[in-house]
Amino acid sequence: MKISIVFATHNGSYTIDRILASYKSLVCPPNFSWEIIVVDNNSTDNTWEILESFKKELPIKLLKEPKAGKNSALNKALHEPLGDIIIFTDDDVLPHENWLVVYAKLFEEQPEFDLFGGRIIPYWEAAPPNGLLEAIPVHVAFALTSESEKTGPIKAGKIYGPNMAVRKKVFTQGLRFNEMIGPSGKNYIMGSETDFLQRAEQKGHKAYFSLSSTVQHIIRPWQYEKKWLQNRAFKFGRAIVHDQKRHKNLAEHALVFGYPRWGLSKLIQLYLQVCLACLRNDSFKKYQKNWQYNMNKGFLTEYKKMGNALEDE
């Protein structure tokens, strides 16, 4: 039996050395072999040199994908002869040393499930600002596991990309990642793993979650900055439109210049609440209302774009 760990990287030099160093501590389960497949997606820093420096220390295979986009890079890896268990993660995720052992056990003990997810906890490089974690949905902002999750069957969309595993047969049946969404440049549509997992679920593949499969997601100080959080919320708002369309519950609304009328009213209301929070220097409200404002802005922007695309069809 074989386990393939797959992830893509684009200019990941800030974390990639720490990530691969942590892989040297991974315990391989009995009667298993393992490999790491890393796809470099047009890095312009020294990521490739760092990757090559680990060739003698780890069972690592390096690929390059010139087409921009994380999902293009992941699909490139799927052309390789992969293991029975395929674990997907990111270039800023530190696994627990028993990560492979836990997944191997899950695949053996839960044969009716094909999609698996594990716990993602934060590795804070610096303490988050006061009020931030209480004000925004941190599971969305930083791809962390909700504290309410428990070990057992789960809806596929509640599994997050930094810690997910898939049986090989899912890909043998032809399923691939959607290259029209996911990380690619600065303003992409979030939810690429969610899109993949939900499409797999629609084809009958069931999902299972385990708290025992644990990784740490490195959260950098610049991810607390206003601009980064605004962009993250905006992208999440765009993703909500696609999620609703995928589930065929994207509602029709009365429009003003192509935007839902209710949304424009909500946006004005949220903008005024942001201004009031700034005047009062209320950290909690500033984070909360800024997130909500930019999420709604992203939703409205994508809704209008989606409406125009549907009209063109």
| Dihedral angle of Cα 210, 216, 217, 219, to the nearest 10 degrees | 140
Residue 36 pLDDT > 60: yes
* Nearest one of 296, 297, 306, 138 to 224, comparing CA atoms: 138
Query: pLDDT category, 313, cuts 50, 70, 90?
Result: very low
Supply the DSSP symbol for 96.
Answer: P
pLDDT in tens, 73-128: 999 999 999 999 999 999 999 999 999 999 999 999 999 999 999 999 999 999 99
Sign of the CA dihedral running 124, 88, 85, 64: negative
Percent residues over pLDDT 90 in the chain: 81
Q: What digits encode the pLDDT tens for the residues 263-299?
A: 899 999 999 999 999 999 999 999 999 999 999 999 9
- What is the distance between the alpha carbons of residues 273 and 291, in angstroms, rounded to a whole number? 11
For residue 312, is pLDDT > 70?
no
pLDDT of residue 56 exceeding 60, the answer is yes
How many CB atoms are closer than 10 A to CB 271? 15
- Residues 191 and 26: their CA atoms lie apart, in Å, by 28
- Domain range 2-224, CATH architecture: Alpha-Beta Complex (3.90)
Model pTM score:
0.91
Task: Give the DSSP H or E segment for 169.
Answer: helix 168-172
pLDDT (tens digit per residue) in 117-175: 999 999 999 999 999 999 999 999 999 999 899 999 999 999 999 999 999 999 999 99
pLDDT at 259: 85
Write out the DSSP string of 170-206. Answer: HHHTT----TTSSS-SSS--S-HHHHHHHHHHHTT--
**Residue 296 three-state SS:** helix
Q: In the structure, what pLDDT confidence band is assigned to residue 186 with cuts at 50, 70 and 90?
A: low
Q: What is the pLDDT of residues 204-240, one digit of tens each?
A: 999 999 999 999 999 999 999 999 999 999 999 999 9
- Each domain of the chain, given as residue ranges in start order, spans 2-224, 226-312
